[in-house]
Amino acid sequence: MTGQRPLENVSYAVIADARKGARARIMDIACPVCGPQRQGHLARRKVLRTWQLDGGGFSLRCVRCELRGWIAPDGSESHRPERPAVLAADDDEEERKRQRNAELAERIWRQASSIAGTAGEAYLNKRGIDLSSVPDHGGLRWHPRCPWEGETTGCIISRFTDAITGEPRGIHRRPINGQKPKTLGPMRGCVIRLWPDGLCT
């Protein structure tokens, strides 16, 4: 996630100064490398994420330029972090969240059943979308009590599949009460096999 190399083109003092007063271990600041190459608000844009490391150093990662690595107060190798503890914790938390979302997506998909003859199909019909002639109703499902923002609501569910392997991945949930649809679970590199035109957002 972050660079493992010490940085020579960034001053520790500049970063420490920009972070002055920071309470959190993670703080986004302007990038001293790519910022000065830009003007006005672009120069000040907080594109550089900094992590306070145990031992007084900082781990850095810019989302705009190639800058990533770490710096220590005296530049000494003794500060070299094996793996920044705070980053490991972040990664673990991210990973757990991804896992939970993937499991929930899978559970919702399994609980949902064919959309044929449901309120979900009626909703689409009302919008001029007739699924009855589409094989397997386009693979769409209906969940009358789909988990939704801490509550449940009736949703039309479709499944993302990996574009290359065809493996099932995350899901797309469209509530029929007019709320904005949401995706859940993994979907990078995925496609929805069939989703009627005009319903993709």
Question: Looking up tokens 């990664």, which residue turns up?
Answer: 91
User: Which of 29, 67, 72, 192 is the binder for Zn ion (CB under 5 A)?
Assistant: 67
Binding to Zn ion (CB under 5 A) within 106-145 occurs at: none
The interface mask with Zn ion, positions 44-63, x = CB under 5 A, is ------------------x-
What is the smallest separation between the CB atom of 7 and Zn ion, expressed in angstroms?
A: 11
Nearer to Zn ion, 66 or 197 (CB): 66
Nearer to Zn ion, 43 or 88 (CB): 43
Cα-Cα-Cα-Cα dihedral sign, residues 70, 72, 76, 81: negative
CA distances to 60, 139, 171 from 194, in Å? 42, 7, 13
Question: Looking up tokens 């001053």, which residue turns up?
Answer: 11
| DSSP string computed for 45-97 | ---EEEEEPTTS-EEEEESSSS-EEEE-TT--GGG--SS-HHHHHHHHHHHHH
Q: Does 65 bind Zn ion (CB under 5 A)?
A: yes
Q: Does 33 bind Zn ion (CB under 5 A)?
A: yes
User: Which of 46, 64, 80, 193 is the binder for Zn ion (CB under 5 A)?
Assistant: 64
Binding site for Zn ion (CB under 5 A): 31, 33-34, 62, 64-65, 67
